[in-house]
Structure 1
């Protein structure tokens, strides 16, 4: 029997141990080709329900299902070897009861291959976090601006901008930490609040539109690659313009087809020598 050396995937305990030691770099991934390219560079890949908007051109994240999330997660896991893969719990898959949450989270781990799940919600969902963690499912909490709460929040608006709102978000983050979450995503909240939460919690905070002081950062990959259109979120930065490269490649291909310079016989099968 031959023994093959293989890079070990980043584990949830390793992410927790990064607190205070080094920054955690995370990105979203929904399909195998992108996940394969990101894998070596980052510590964590989030199979986010944001694929509803990014991959399916939906207006929000609310239409994703557990089956869809499991399929995307499985593709990302199969394409990667290094990054810890966390899958989003889609809207309606965990709010009804802890038992419902466990059944669906178990699907994301067993069928989707994820190493843990992310769920959105404040103190009301802390019991669900505890229920999952006690049954072997790592949980990444998500507080602040929560896309699944778009209807109650009145849109995608920055959160924690008043003293009362900041206190509530701090309490939300503390509740999940006490329930056993291995980390918490802080999205779209005031910078001083994100800094305060990071200092107060014993678990890593992953910021997106939060603060440089967070223990890690996550962005939607398509935003940093220039694949999300002209509008770039305030909290994001375009690190490359892959969109322009893809557009030019498509133009060059189409021109080659029309000018009959592609394909050539070298691209064909069964070509006779006299040809």
Structure 2
């Protein structure tokens, strides 16, 4: 898989829809022990959902970690600083593939990031070990790699016209594990674990909104691979757009994008 370059403005075009799963996850995280909890957000992106952590726990010291300079720039500019309850929100560069906490944490969260991290479940023991007793590790990931927006993208990339440019570029079909696999892995680490799935029916406005959505996330590796050839990039987008129009037809009220996500909340034993 190609390491994508990110466009915070494109990502935030559907910020409300993208933030909803995180608010649902946040509602299931128990209050951390202590009056001034230490919280980490792995894969913070432009910081808009990290800021929701500060609203939930305004006395906390919260650090959002990301390895995309574009996203970190947006996070620093838009959200960094003191919080309403005397806490602090800051951001730092880190690669989730190798991040090992250097201090104890009360909450470690990750929002729509681990699907980009190969073998991410192998990192769980390191993160759970860094939690204080009673602390929580919680994450949500897209669980729709078999959905038309991804399947059509992969099929198109594998056609003779595009195979030489896009082979091995896109996210793998095994990038997210089954709910049972996550439950087993976290429970064996001594955590009280809750895992569930939710399918959101996002109603998107405008022309070709599914293409606009995926240009901010799943399509980024392909756009990165074709960045040096604007003609090829536009041709690929046109072919993909036509396929998406058939798979996600518009209605008078908008275009419906069904989107399944997987959630896990693991509370470390006391």
Structure number, greater radius of gyration: 1
**Higher share in strand:** 2
Between the two structures, name the one with larger relative contact order (CA 8 Å, sep ≥ 6).
2
Asked whether the two chains share a fold, i.e. TM above 0.5, the reply is: no
TM-score (norm 1): 0.29
TM-score (norm 2): 0.30
